[in-house]
């Protein structure tokens, strides 16, 4: 509260006195503000730890997921003839693929077009495909050959037929029709009501004016002695979970479907990275630097140190009885002196020769905690800590509650300071006024005494 006249009467610096007294009284606020800043730093630090624990939970969950261990790869001995993909439903095995013919579409072409264009009268031209697609072209008098082809193409769909005007080696024009799709259902017929266009009619067999260039047919192949076919060059239903891409007819390839070890290694690497990130941050946040005599934000934090201890116990524990792998180090994830995990690729590759054994080590989910897989134990720990009421979630809530209470204390004390300042100003302004009156009275008395002395 600003009082411009404070101290005017007596010369007393009321504003300065009040400011200094208020500053002394406000010291607890500064302490509470410092406490609030410290609490905020601790909560932010632990919030990061909580986020990293969630990332570790996700990585551990991936190693317990059936999709990770059932992922498959497909390799071909002749990638120029056959390629493909495999899903988790595919059976790990090797197949011999003999490609017969590739799927083809239909094409027909006309004789050289020397008469009939531009057409003399209007007419209708209809193309009907075996796949059920119908294209109707309406023509008007004066239509050119190129204009006719363009109108056909304007009606073409993915399952339709397109038209092209081809100039042959003699410089003559021929009209070609081609199906846009392949397979036996791509066959088509052409009908017309126009006399000028009868030369392009095609009912499925060659005529004097229209010839078949390519016959619509399905792809054919043989898988270990069994004949298969498809409407296109991709066979997606011949083998469960397998899609084969036929690229070259009259060829042979060996197709091998196997567990996708690279995908598994990537999930193991993600688990290692998530663990190392969390463990390193826990060490940093709870550490004490003797040289600088400073500690991390979570130095002495029981929840953080307990989490660090539990993680060490989990990754250092013995594997389940369902796996012959007894330790992470046997698998190739070796614990370093700083507590981090490092991959020994030779050991890991060797262990993955038996993916089922590695799966059991990580993902076994039945029995007591010690009978479960390492990744399942880590997942369960993280899930519990992150759940409502769990140690991590509760710790964040406790920090927030302490911050909220501290902020309320600051607000209450600021209200007290404001009232205290008003009280001081009132008291010292009153003192200033009284001192001014006394000063005036003193001057008056002095004048009277001086007058009396002169009179005597």
Pairing of strands 288-289, 82-86: unpaired
Question: How many helices (DSSP H) and strands (DSSP E) are in the chain?
Answer: 11, 19
**What angle, rounded to 10 degrees, do the helices at 302-316 and 261-286 form?**
150
Q: Give φ, ψ of 316 to 5 degrees.
A: -95, 0
CB 12 within 8 A of CB 430: no
CA-to-CA distance for 224 and 342, rounded, in angstroms?
44
Q: Give φ, ψ of 114 to 5 degrees.
A: -115, -20
CA-to-CA distance for 152 and 36, rounded, in angstroms?
77
Each residue's pLDDT, cut to its tens digit, for the chain (456 residues) gives: 344 444 445 566 778 887 888 788 778 888 888 889 999 999 999 999 999 999 999 999 999 999 999 999 999 999 999 999 999 999 999 999 999 999 999 999 999 988 778 877 788 999 999 988 999 999 888 888 899 999 999 999 888 999 999 999 999 999 999 999 999 999 999 999 888 889 999 999 999 999 999 999 999 999 999 999 999 999 998 999 999 999 999 999 999 999 999 999 999 999 999 999 999 999 999 999 989 888 999 999 999 999 999 999 999 999 999 999 999 999 999 999 999 999 999 999 999 999 999 999 999 998 888 899 999 999 999 999 999 999 999 999 999 999 999 999 888 888 888 887 888 777 777 776 766 666 665 566 667 667 676 765
CB atoms within 10 A of CB 237: 9
Pairing of strands 333-335, 294-295: unpaired
pLDDT computed for residue 367 by the predictor: 86
Burial class (CB in 10 A: 0-12, 13-18, 19+), 227: exposed
CA-to-CA distance for 120 and 152, rounded, in angstroms?
18
Answer whether the bond into residue 118 is a cis peptide, omega within 30°. yes
Of 164, 159, 162, nearest to 130 by C-alpha is 159
Q: Give φ, ψ of 143 to 5 degrees.
A: -70, 130
pLDDT computed for residue 6 by the predictor: 46
pLDDT computed for residue 82 by the predictor: 97
pLDDT computed for residue 359 by the predictor: 96
CB 246 within 8 A of CB 82: yes
Instruction: Output DSSP code: residue 113.
Output: -
pLDDT computed for residue 225 by the predictor: 95
Q: Is the dihedral of CA 339, 342, 347, 352 positive or negative?
A: positive
* CA of residue 52 relative to chain centroid, distance: 16
CB atoms within 10 A of CB 65: 14
CB atoms within 10 A of CB 415: 10
- DSSP H stretches of helix in 93-235: 145-154
CB 280 within 8 A of CB 304: no
CA dihedral 347, 368, 70, 277 (to 10 degrees): -60
CA-to-CA distance for 414 and 420, rounded, in angstroms?
10
CA-to-CA distance for 74 and 351, rounded, in angstroms?
21
CB 218 within 8 A of CB 231: yes
Instruction: Output DSSP code: residue 99.
Output: E
Domain ranges of the chain: 1-71+261-434, 72-102+219-259, 107-214
Q: What H or E segment, with its residue span, contains residue 256? A: strand 251-259
Angle at 194 between CA 188 and CA 199, to 5 degrees: 60
**What angle, rounded to 10 degrees, do the helices at 261-286 and 355-363 form?**
30
CB atoms within 10 A of CB 163: 24
CA distances from 33 to 296, 346, 406 (A): 20, 55, 8
CA-to-CA distance for 370 and 362, rounded, in angstroms?
12
Phi-psi region of 295 (alpha: psi -120 to 50; beta: other; left: phi over 0): beta
Query: Distance between terminal CA atoms of the chain?
Result: 53
């Amino acid at each position: 509260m600003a009082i411009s006249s404070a101290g005017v009467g007596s010369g007393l610096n009321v504003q300065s006195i009040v400011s200094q007294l208020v500053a002394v009284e406000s010291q607890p606020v500064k302490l509470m503000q410092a406490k609030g800043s410290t609490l905020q730093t601790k909560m932010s630090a632990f919030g990061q730890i909580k986020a990293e624990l969630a990332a570790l939970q996700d990585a551990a969950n991936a190693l317990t997921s059936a999709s990770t261990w059932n992922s498959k790869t497909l390799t071909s001995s002749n990638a120029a003839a056959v390629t493909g993909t495999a899903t988790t439903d595919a059976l790990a095995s090797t197949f011999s693929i003999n490609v017969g013919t590739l799927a083809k579409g239909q094409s027909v072409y006309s004789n050289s077009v020397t008469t009939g264009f531009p057409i003399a009268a209007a007419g209708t031209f209809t193309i009907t495909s075996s796949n059920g697609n119908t294209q109707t072209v309406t023509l008007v008098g004066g239509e050119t050959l190129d204009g006719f082809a363009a109108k056909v193409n304007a009606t073409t769909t993915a399952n339709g037929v397109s038209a092209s005007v081809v100039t042959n080696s003699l410089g003559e024009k021929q009209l070609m029709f081609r199906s846009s799709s392949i397979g036996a259902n791509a066959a088509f017929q052409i009908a017309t009501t126009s006399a000028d266009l009868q030369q392009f009619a095609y009912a499925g067999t060659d005529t004097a004016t229209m010839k078949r260039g390519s016959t619509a047919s399905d792809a054919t192949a043989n898988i270990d002695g069994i004949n298969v076919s498809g409407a296109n060059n991709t066979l997606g239903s011949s083998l469960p979970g397998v899609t084969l891409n036929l690229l070259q007819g009259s060829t042979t390839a060996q197709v091998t479907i196997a567990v996708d070890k690279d995908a598994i290694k990537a999930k193991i690497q993600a688990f290692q990275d998530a663990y190392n990130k969390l463990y390193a941050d826990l060490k940093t946040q709870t550490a004490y630097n003797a040289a600088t005599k400073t500690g991390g934000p979570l130095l002495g934090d029981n929840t953080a140190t307990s989490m660090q201890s539990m993680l060490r116990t989990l990754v250092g524990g013995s594997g389940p009885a369902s796996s012959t792998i007894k330790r992470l180090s046997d698998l190739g994830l070796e614990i370093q002196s700083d507590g981090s995990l490092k991959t020994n690729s030779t050991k890991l590759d060797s262990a993955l020769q038996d993916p089922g054994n590695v799966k059991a080590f990580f993902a076994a989910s039945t029995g007591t905690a010690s009978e479960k897989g390492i990744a399942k134990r880590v997942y369960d720990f993280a899930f519990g800590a992150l759940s409502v009421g769990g140690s991590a979630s509760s710790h964040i809530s406790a920090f927030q509650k302490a911050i909220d209470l501290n902020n309320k204390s600051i607000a209450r004390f600021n209200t007290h300071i404001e009232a205290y300042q008003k009280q001081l100003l009132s008291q010292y302004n009153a003192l200033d006024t009284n001192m001014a009156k006394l000063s005036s009275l003193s001057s008056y008395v002095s004048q009277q005494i001086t007058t009396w002395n002169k009179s005597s």
